[in-house]
Every structure is written in C-alpha cells, then in structure tokens.
Structure 1
C-alpha cells in the first residue's frame, strides 16, 4: 500500500499521512511515560519537557520530529478543533514575556483528552484538552514535513 506520505508498505494512513500503526505506537509510547517527571530540556526516556515527550513518543514510531514546540508546530497542516484526531499536536502560548511564542505542546488522545509534560515539579499527565485562552492551534503530524523541519533546525 501507499500511505498519505508516499511511503510504500507502511499500511493505511491517517488523514495526515502517519500510518495508523505508527500513530498507535506513538500514542502508546507517550502514555507509557505517564507519571515520569518534567525536567526542562529533557527528551526521555525517564524525564521529559513538553516537546521532548512529543519528540520521543513519535521517535518510537520511527517519525523524526523537531525538538522544540515552536518548530513542532510546523510539522504538519493546521487542524480545526472540531476535527481533532488522536495524535494531533496541541500548541499553547504560555510565556507571559512573549505571548505570541509557542511555548507548550501536548498530544491529543481523543475524546477531549491530551497527554502533556506540564511544568517543573509536575509529572507527565493525562488531562482534559485545553482549548482556552492560551490555546494557539493544532496540527496533524505529516512525517515528511516533520523530518524536513527537524533537518532544517538540527
């Protein structure tokens, strides 16, 4: 089969081009980190910051992701909240000193839930998806686009 990213043999793809099996692997990887500590700059496997959790989880599925949230926001097409699917990335403006900078990312799990590495002193957690005042938007990961961004900023 050919999936949405043009890769042969990867199985059926989600709308964004990630094979369903890869997406399942990434989501399971993220959920397996629940309860581990947030450490700024950490990218696993025993501690994470928000973008490190995203990068590590997708890497377990063979998908190269950029390291920081602002670059991860460029890893696929924008998705409206009404069309969110498990595996989509949710982005936030949480830095009051730079209110337009994307400073946080979480992984959408479906049914209104997300997993995130929230902040120092807290652990990786599953919480209701927040689309409130700090919400900056969502993307559907496209592996080719993610790898291209990761390669540009590496």
Structure 2
C-alpha cells in the first residue's frame, strides 16, 4: 500500500499548490479592488463614501434640475456605503451610486449582480438583477436626476423642501422606511447646508479652508522643532502648543483650522487625501519629501502657502519657518497631496 500513498501524494501536491495559487490570486484581486480606490478625495464631516466629485455633481444637478443636493447626498450614503473606499461594490466598480437597474429601454453599459430586496412585512430576500453601469460618479448623478424628472413614480416637480423631496422617493426602494432613512442621514450630517451652495461657493469654501490652515501654521513661526513632539491628540488640540516635529505641525495646523486629520505620521500623510500635481497646488496642500534626491521613502512634510513658498518644522535645532520651494526641495519631492 505504501507505493499507492506515494503516488497519491505526488498527484495531490500539484493540486494543492494550484488551489493555493488560485486562492492567492483571488485575494490579490479583492485587495487590489479595495485598496486602489478611485483616488478621490473625501469630504470633511461626511462619510467616507462621499467624494468631492459627488458633492460637485450634486450641486450641478441642484442648479440644473432643482433637486436638493442634500437628498442626492443622502441617497448616496444610503445606497453606496460599503467596504471599498467606503463604497458598495456596485458604486465602486460600476459608479452606480443609486442602485438604478437597467430596464428594457436602457441602452448604456450594464452589470449583473445579486441584490437584497424587502417584502412589505420587512423580511428580506435576494435577487439577481441587471444594473446600469457608468464611467463616472458625475454620470450616475446626472442620470438619477433625469430619471426623477421623467418618471411618474417620483412626484418631485416643484418640490423644493428637502424632506418633502425625500418623501417623494418612497418608491425608489423596497425598504418601507426609505424616505425617513434619507431624512435621518440629512439630519445626522447636516446635509442641508449644501442646498444653499453653488459649485462656485463650494470651491470658495474649500479655498478658504486651505487659507485658514496656512494662517494657523503661520501663528507658530519661530516655534522649536523637537523630534516626536506634539503627536498626541491632546497636544494637537492645544492651541498653545509650541514644540513640533514636521508631521505634528501639519496635523496641528489642520486641526486648529477646523479640519481634523488626526495625529498622522509622515508615512501616513503620504497616502492621505488625494494626490495632486504640482500645477494643482494651492495654499493648505502638503508636500512630502524623501531624505535624499530621488528617494521614495517619506521623511519630511511641509505645507504649501502659495507663490512658490512653504512653511514647515525642518529639523532638530531649527524652528518653524517659511522657505522657498527651491530646487533643493523639488529634487527630494515624492508627491503633493490635498487633505481638505
């Protein structure tokens, strides 16, 4: 019997290796999908699923179709929350933020997925459905507005009050509490503030946020650099803090400007927010540097203040100061990032 066991082992080993390779490959795909993201910046004070592109598109549709941005954002929170950069698989992979099914008249892209539905008694069941697929979040939001205006199922014409607008969407989902759930999101995150904004005023507010970061940073010019100083949240929250290292200086400046990014280190800041190009730099953005020319490991961070200058806490024995973003720093630059 021993030879048979050996032969079985010879055949079994390659099978086990093959299965393991397949499993590893699947995990690589899943991890790739969940970590690559869409590179979109999140919006301060809102859930991770809400990206800046979504806010801007909601404001554009508010102006064009008179659909309250608060309700649009509430629907995105309700329909799209998941594990992929805060998004559901349908939203993350196919940019479908509202669970809109394809239907027989849809001529665009589609995808087929399992989805949960709810019976009138509140119990749930799963079905396999074909959904619309989009190339961008903006396209999804625009399509949702067109659908609302063209369907008799949603009597939204002339409805400007956001809560009443939400109640007009009771047929959007099989969830019997759907309108009140949307209103709950609107209340929780105070989404109503977006109902009085335009794209222009939103961008001005963002620019103002960056300028406020710079203002707060400038208050600490002359303060000592101490390696590892100022990293607890109690220190970052303290407006009187007077010793920093490079990353705690960034975190303190942001927190004091009303933007809580926590107490991140340089290695965490290099992947925070969204990466931007040098041409997109505006006051309040951060610049990450390597120790040496051409390096890729982050060892320093500064805040860009405009006009080719930056403010930072440089090194032991030095103080917080403004310097030119010179060739010395450009040679060591890893990336530029926006955190607000």
Q: TM-score range by the shorter chain?
A: 0.7 to 0.9
- Please state how far the C-alpha of 1:68 moved relative to its aligned partner: 0.5
Matched, 1:84 2:281: yes
Distance 2:249 2:243 in 1: 8
Q: Indicate if the aligned counterparts of 1:92 and 1:136 stay in contact, CA closer than 8 A.
A: yes
Distance 1:89 1:105 in 2: 7
Distance 2:203 2:228 in 1: 30
Q: Indicate if the aligned counterparts of 2:276 and 2:338 stay in contact, CA closer than 8 A.
A: yes
Task: For structure 2, list consecutive stretches of 5 or more residues without a partner in the other structure.
Answer: 1-42, 45-51, 56-188, 236-240
Matched, 1:49 2:245: yes
Greater share of residues in helix: 2
Task: Provide the TM-score with structure 1 as the length reference.
Answer: 0.76
Match of 1:64 among 244, 260, 268: 260
Distance 2:229 2:256 in 1: 16
Q: Indicate if the aligned counterparts of 1:95 and 1:101 stay in contact, CA closer than 8 A.
A: no
2:270 corresponding residue in structure 1:
73
Q: Indicate if the aligned counterparts of 2:308 and 2:324 stay in contact, CA closer than 8 A.
A: yes
Distance 2:259 2:210 in 1: 9
| 1:62-141 correspondence runs (5 A) | 62-65=258-261, 66-94=263-291, 99-130=295-326, 131-141=329-339
Q: Indicate if the aligned counterparts of 2:313 and 2:319 stay in contact, CA closer than 8 A.
A: yes
Task: For structure 1, list consecutive stretches of 5 or more residues without a partner in the other structure.
Answer: 143-154
Distance 2:268 2:202 in 1: 23
RMSD after superposition: 2.7
Q: Indicate if the aligned counterparts of 1:95 and 1:103 stay in contact, CA closer than 8 A.
A: no
Distance 1:126 1:20 in 2: 20
C-alpha change, 1:132 and 1:24, in structure 2 (3 Å) is: closer
Greater Rg over alpha carbons, structure: 2
Q: Indicate if the aligned counterparts of 1:27 and 1:57 stay in contact, CA closer than 8 A.
A: yes
1:28 corresponding residue in structure 2:
215
| 1:57-84 superposed Cα distances (whole Å, 9 cap, x missing partner) | 0001222224211111222111111221
Q: Indicate if the aligned counterparts of 2:210 and 2:282 stay in contact, CA closer than 8 A.
A: no
* Count of residue pairs brought into register by the alignment: 137
> 127-136 vs 101-110, which deviates more?
127-136
Q: Indicate if the aligned counterparts of 1:77 and 1:141 stay in contact, CA closer than 8 A.
A: yes
* Structure with bigger RCO (C-alpha 8 Å, 6+ apart): 1
C-alpha change, 1:119 and 1:14, in structure 2 (3 Å) is: farther
C-alpha change, 1:38 and 1:20, in structure 2 (3 Å) is: same
